[in-house]
Amino acid sequence: MANYYYLNERKEQQGPVSAEELFKLGISPNTLVWTEGMNQWTPAGNVAELNEWFMRRRPEANATPPYPTGRFSRMGRLEEKPNNWLIWSILVTLFCCLPGGIAAVLYASRVDNLWHAGRHEEAVKSAHIARTLCLVSIAVGVLFFIIVFIFNLTSIMTETTLPVV
């Protein structure tokens, strides 16, 4: 095996190092390398000996991940972490219904911690409660807005029809 020189990210010449050491240093196929017998600096992916290393180290396109990204349910299906509804809870708190929004924020903030602690059923329940509180708070806020709108509309209408004394 030949010893190679390479250009680091600041385009400074480094080396000489063996092909194994090049890969331990984390070179990419685009890193410029040179060794005796080469006319000019060449990308490592274009050098036959180094390209073999890249091909061996490249994972297969259809390879499965080393571990599942979710968890398996009792039925054997892979489950993903539930949506925590935190952003919606904060928006509901700010713009709609303060008490329901605060409760939703409290439940939503628990979801990620419970999931990563392995308490998956509790995380799913907290996410479901946060979602329910968000939707109920939105409904209450919209209902309140409609009632206030109707009240204001009727008060404006009654003011114009009353005689001036």
Query: Of 39, 146, 142, which is closest to residue 96 (Cα–Cα)?
Result: 142
Asked whether the predicted pLDDT for residue 59 surpasses 60, the reply is: no
State the CB neighbour count (10 A cutoff) for residue 31: 20
Which is it for the CA torsion 82, 86, 88, 92, positive or negative? positive
In three-state secondary structure terms, 32 is strand
Residue spans per domain, the chain: 4-57, 80-161
pLDDT at 64: 55
pTM of model > 0.75:
no
Q: Which residues pair with 5 in a beta bridge?
A: 34
| pLDDT greater than 80 at residue 56 | no
| pLDDT digit string, tens, across residues 14-42 | 888 888 888 888 888 888 999 988 889 99
Question: pLDDT of 87-101, one tens digit each?
Answer: 999 999 999 888 999
Write a three-state SS string for 89-148: HHHHHHHCCHHHHHHHHHHHHHHHHHHHCCCHHHHHHHHHHHHHHHHHHHHHHHHHHHHH
Question: Alpha-carbon distance 87 to 60, whole Å?
Answer: 38
User: Would you say 15 and 3 are in contact if contact means Cβ atoms under 8 Å apart?
Assistant: yes
The pLDDT mean for the chain works out to: 82
